[in-house]
């Protein structure tokens, strides 16, 4: 059996940057072990498997895998697969393709708006399927520092302190003082499990940025998921909305932030985070970004 696949670079408008993604089409006949084998063969942060849906109003059923296993939701696979399906399935009108892609993910139904214009990378944006919620398991600063190769004084930013939230996947959010400290952060496995257990991954962020248009600089490590470092993490950005509301007290109404990530890996990425705040509380979270196709072919099962 041969199945068609495509690869895309996500959260970027340029090939060979952003977060690479593999998408395998017509994957209905594959079981979980086969999907995991294929994911490990591509050896990217995530691979998406597209299947038919029984609901006429929905576009596709998708399953998302990291090299470590299946996840219920992830941001760059959602953006990338929606951009691809819009290009493959949506009719062109006046040279443009605008589409609403409705995906059935393990976390629930996710609706993605896609804009495609000639000569430009597709842009996709979706409402987070659930609002971020606090989770247990914030380690002490000295243990965080030991696991990340930092010194305790480099952790903490203004009034920001380490905290943990999940909008589908759990993260420990680690505020870091400077870009220089961000650059030297690394995985120290001797302290990793004590700091993060087997479920959480650290998401480091600081206000110093490479690009003047960005609001935050970020890094994410997830060795327990088979991801040494992720070039762009949309699920973490969705949960990060709660961090900004908690510590920055944004004004009521629509607040937009640009998060840059992947620079230390040579894969610059830009995630658009939109937050609707009402009476100081988070009402909705939206994640957006661009995606560009890189390759296509067939994989033999």
Catalytic residue of the set 14, 41, 46, 208? 46
Q: Calculate the alpha carbon distances from 221 to 151, 228, 229, 269 in Å.
A: 18, 6, 4, 15
- Told to judge if 46 belongs to the known catalytic residues of this protein, a careful annotator would answer yes
Length of the chain: 301
Burial 175-187 (b: 16+ CB within 10 A, else e): bbbeeebbeebeb
Owner of token pair 């390759």: 295
CA 287 to chain centre: 9
Cβ burial of 193 (10 Å; 0-12, 13-18, 19+) is: exposed
- Which residue, among 67, 204, 92, has the nearest Cα to 145 in the 3D structure? 204
Query: In the chain, how many H helices and how many E strands?
Result: 6, 17
Is-contact 158 102, C-beta < 8 A? no
Residues with a known catalytic role: 46
């Amino acid at each position: 059996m041969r199945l068609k696949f495509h690869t895309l670079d996500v959260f970027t408008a340029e090939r060979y940057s952003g977060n690479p993604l593999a998408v395998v089409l017509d994957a209905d006949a594959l079981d979980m072990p086969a999907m995991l084998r294929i994911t490990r063969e591509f050896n990217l942060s995530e691979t998406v498997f597209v299947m038919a849906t029984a609901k006429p109003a929905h576009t596709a059923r998708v399953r998302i895998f990291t090299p470590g296993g299946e996840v219920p939701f992830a941001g760059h696979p959602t953006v990338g697969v929606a951009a691809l399906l819009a290009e493959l399935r949506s009719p062109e009108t006046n040279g443009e393709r605008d589409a609403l892609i409705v995906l059935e993910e393990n976390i629930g139904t996710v609706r993605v708006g896609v804009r495609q214009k000639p000569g430009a990378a597709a842009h996709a944006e979706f409402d987070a399927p659930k609002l971020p919620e606090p989770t247990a398991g914030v380690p002490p600063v000295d243990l965080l520092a030991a696991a990340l190769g930092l010194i305790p004084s480099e952790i903490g930013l203004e009034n920001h302190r380490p905290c943990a939230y999940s909008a589908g996947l759990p993260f420990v959010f680690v505020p870091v003082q400077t870009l220089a400290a961000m650059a030297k952060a690394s995985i120290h496995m001797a302290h990793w499990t004590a700091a993060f257990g087997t479920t959480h991954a650290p998401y480091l962020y600081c206000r110093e940025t490479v690009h003047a248009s960005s609001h935050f600089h970020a890094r994410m490590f997830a060795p327990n998921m088979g991801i040494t470092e992720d070039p762009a993490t949309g699920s973490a950005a969705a949960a990060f909305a709660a961090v900004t509301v908690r510590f920055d007290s944004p004004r009521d109404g629509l607040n937009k932030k640009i998060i840059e990530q992947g620079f230390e890996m040579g894969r610059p990425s830009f995630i658009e985070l939109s937050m609707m705040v009402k009476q100081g509380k988070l009402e909705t979270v939206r994640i957006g970004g661009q995606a560009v196709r890189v390759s296509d072919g067939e994989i033999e099962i």
